[in-house]
Amino acid sequence: MSDNVYSTICPGCNFGCGLYIRENGSLGVDFRKSSPANAGKLCRFGMSLPKFFAPAKSMIDGVETPMEEAAKESAKRISDSKGSAAFLSLGNTSNEELLAFQKIAESYLCTGVNFEALPKDTYQTISIGIPYSEIEAAKHIVLFIDPYEQYPLIVRRLLSAKNKGAKITSVWWKDLTLADENIRPDDISKLALTQDSIIIADFHPLSDTEQVKNVLSLAKNAGAKVTFLKPFANSTGEYIISKDAKQKSLAQLIEDINKGTIKTLFALESDISALIPSDTLSKLKNLIIQAGQASSAKANIVIAHEPLYMKKGTLINNEGRVQALGGSGTKGLDALGIIAGSKFDFNTLHESIKKTIGITVVDEFTIPKYDRPAYGAIQAAPKPVEKKPALIDVYNPFIWFNLADDNDFVELNLNTARALKLLKGGTLKIKSNGSALEKKFKVAPVQDNVLLTGKSLGIEKGIITPVEISR
């Protein structure tokens, strides 16, 4: 008897949290206190990883099959689709797999985000964030995120900065406990930035492009630094690898599926059910999912292999830190080789990645030097929130699949609760676009006429959805 313990990286977001996964009959999480990104600390999602890593089974049209057969059948169906196949990877796997994937996906690559709508010269700024140590040393930090809900491990870095004298300004729909100054998004003109400011925003598949431009523009005009946190385990690696590739946005992919020009979708380590409407997915002739853990989407073919913690390879976190995954598995790469028609060599891909980043060894304690080119002036026109009740989806990077989480409520302020005569422990009725639902609520210092949700309720139309609310 001997425990299998994997030193790995949390797949919850791109923060790069190190941890151990212990296999001893069941899965367990141990705290890897020497990890430079998180000192072993984990958020609610990290603590739930044993449930997240539910094993997947390879299937063809609902029938269990060996992985190789599923990959071969996928290759056939992709080939038969004659140019109507799209390839989606949100960035939840190793750089080595992503590099192999890109060779397969040349005809139609979707990374889930919309770089096409942003100026080319902002690509590097958006892709590679600044080191957390710089955030801790900042004099002024401006948040365009809710760190507690969206990227919890940044909270301790912000508190550390605050203890050293930093001022924290939040531009958000809710007062944040750690902020010295809370500005509502509609009052952005009150925001005073200097060269000593660091802006923290995020960039994800549902990001409002105009808002991203606005953040970039604010930073540019003030000479401030800006860093974008990202929601997938290897978002940074994915964007670095795909820098010169032609990319389609998620909206474009959805449109192409709806139009019928895309009939086959191959998704690599990406749970699409949270991002692509089910009626769109139902229009596909073939949905092929390659993954290391169970997915909630119903696929025609599932290519199942080892989970992330058992894989060999590297990830790049928000800071640009290159981190080794703890395992030795290359089955994901083998499957991609079957689809490509020729086997991929891990070492060749790994060396190519190191060359791209400009490193000779993978050392998680040293952040490689990246070019941080300036970008030109940007015009942005973010839409103001209408002065009537709106449901705002606080994009939660953690793909919970079917994991139970205690976040099934909306947040609203005391004025709204009193005006609607809501009862403690009771519910709130929300109507939108002909849909209606009843939700528990939490009273919080939220902007008037705003409901915040960290969980998709199924009635949203983008980030901001006008709603009617009642008791």
Partner 1 sequence: MQKGEMYVGWSTKDDVRKRGGSGGLVTSMLAAALDKKLVDAVVVLKKINEFEAVPIITSDINEVLNSAGSLHSVPSHFAKLIANRNLKVALPAKGCDVRGIIEQGKRNAINMENTFIVGLNCGGSMHPVVTREMLEVMYKIKPEDVHGEEIEKGKLIFKTKDGKENAITIDELEEKGYGRRESCRYCTIKIPTNSDIACGNWGVTGDLVGKATFVEINSEKGARLLQNAVDAGYIQVQKPDEKGVAMRTKIKGVMEGLGQKWKDKIFVPMDNRLEYFRKELEHCIDCGACKAVCPTCSCGDVSKCTEYHFRSDAYKMSMYHLVRFLHLGDACIGCGQCSDVCPVDIPLTRLYRRFANPIQLELKYEPGMDTRKPPYFEVKLNE
Q: Which residues bind partner 1 (CB under 8 A)?
A: 1-3, 5, 7, 20, 24, 29-36, 38-44, 46-47, 148, 152-153, 155-156, 159-160, 177-178, 365, 406-407, 409, 440-444
Q: Shortest gap between Cβ of 24 and partner 1 (angstroms)?
A: 7
Please choose, from the candidates 139, 132, 176, 189, the residue with its C-alpha nearest in 3D space to the C-alpha of residue 157.
132
CB of 194 to partner 1, least distance (A): 26
Cβ 198 vs Cβ 130: under 8 Å: yes
Closer of 226 and 310 to partner 1 (Cβ): 310
- Would you say 200 or 275 has its CB closer to partner 1? 200
- Please state the closest distance from residue 172 (CB atom) to partner 1, in A: 16
Spell out a b/e string for 68-89, using b for 16 or more CB atoms within 10 Å of the CB, else e.
ebbbbbbbebbeebeebbbbbb
Closer CB to partner 1, 180 or 187, in the complex: 180
Locate the DSSP E strands across 68-107. Answer: 85-89
The answer to whether the beta carbons of residues 16 and 315 sit under 8 Å apart is yes
> Among 297, 304, 317, 291, which residue's Cα sits nearest to residue 238?
317
Q: Which of 7/234 has CB closer to partner 1?
A: 7
Minimal distance, residue 441 CB to partner 1, in Å: 7
- Pairing type for strands 63-64 and 59-60 reads antiparallel
Output the DSSP codes for 276-296.
S-HHHHTT-SEEEEEESS--S
By C-beta, is 87 or 151 nearer to partner 1? 151
CB 456 to partner 1: min, Å:
16
The residue among 210 and 363 lying less far from partner 1, judged by its C-beta, is 363
Distance between CA 231 and CA 211 in Å, rounded?
Answer: 17
Rounding to the nearest 10 degrees, give the CA dihedral for residues 335, 340, 344, 348: -140
Q: How far is the CB of 406 from partner 1 (least distance, A)?
A: 4
Which of residues 191 and 403 has its CB atom nearest to partner 1 in the complex? 403
Measured CA to CA, the distance from residue 203 to residue 16 in angstroms comes to: 16
Closest CA to 18 of 309, 306, 236: 309
Query: Shortest approach of partner 1 to residue 452 CB, angstroms?
Result: 12
